[in-house]
Chain A
Amino acid sequence: MLKLCEQVYDAIRHYGEETYPYECCGVLLGRSADGVNEVEEAVPAGNTRIDSAHNRYQIAPQDLVKIQRQGRERGLDIVGFYHSHPDHPAQWSKTDFAEAHWIGCSYVITSVNEGVAQETNSFLLTGTVEEDKAFESEAVVVAALEAERC
């Protein structure tokens, strides 16, 4: 299950609209326990795939190092990632799967049609090693009451 407050949820969707017709991407910082990835903050990242930004994204590893450090200093872990699918369904693609390596993390996808955010889905990367990994659809719980924590 992915749990996040309304403010973070809206920010993720808004970022996808802002970067349309290109894919947005970012990192979800929070805590993971008992099968729940609880997000405290969504950190936007630059999409380094400027050669094909309408249908590809990549977060620079050096940005990940910095974001991981920022999180560590605040007692937060990387619990997931988000990106948008411009004019494409909010379902993981073969490319998303091939490039997913953070087992236990949530991969959030928002479809953005003609510049407007539509569906937002989350997929948990399960498995034990690269060779047996799988994406599982997971519930997205938007907790309005916890907005003050964001």
Chain B
Amino acid sequence: MKIHIPTPLRIYSNRQDTVSVHASTVAEALDALTEKHPDLKKHLYSDEGKLRSFVNVYLNDEDIRYLPEKHATRVSEKDALSIIPSIAGGC
């Protein structure tokens, strides 16, 4: 499956905007990504090993946090994961 990397993190994925991995669940896909590109880990996860609060992961158009099986959701080769840091602010 494909994992789309946002612009700020491409410096840690050899400048690739998309990384292909073999995985059967969301968790496996993210593990495979950080195995291929270990420098991504500290940008995606907190010291406690949880996804940083501002990092959103979408399976196709669904936020994995709201999927019934979350990280254990099964994936196929046709699926795509998108890593999207949040964007907000105000005066």
Contact = CB atoms under 8 A, between A and B. Distances in A.
Instruction: Verify that A and B bind, or say they do not.
Output: yes
A99 B89 contact: yes
A56 B58 contact: no
Interface stretch (A6-14, A60-68, A114-122, A137-145): A60-68
B6 A56 contact: no
A103 B54 CA distance: 13
Contacts of B18: 72
Interface of A: 23, 25, 27, 32, 49, 52, 55-59, 61-62, 64-66, 68-69, 72, 77-79, 81, 83, 85-86, 88-89, 92-93, 95-105, 107, 129-130
Contact of A129 (B43, B58, B85, B88): B43
B: interface residue count bin: 20 to 34
19 contacts: A27-B87, A49-B90, A55-B90, A56-B88, A58-B86, A61-B63, A65-B84, A69-B82, A77-B7, A79-B7, A81-B87, A83-B90, A93-B89, A96-B89, A101-B54, A104-B7, A104-B8, A105-B8, A130-B54
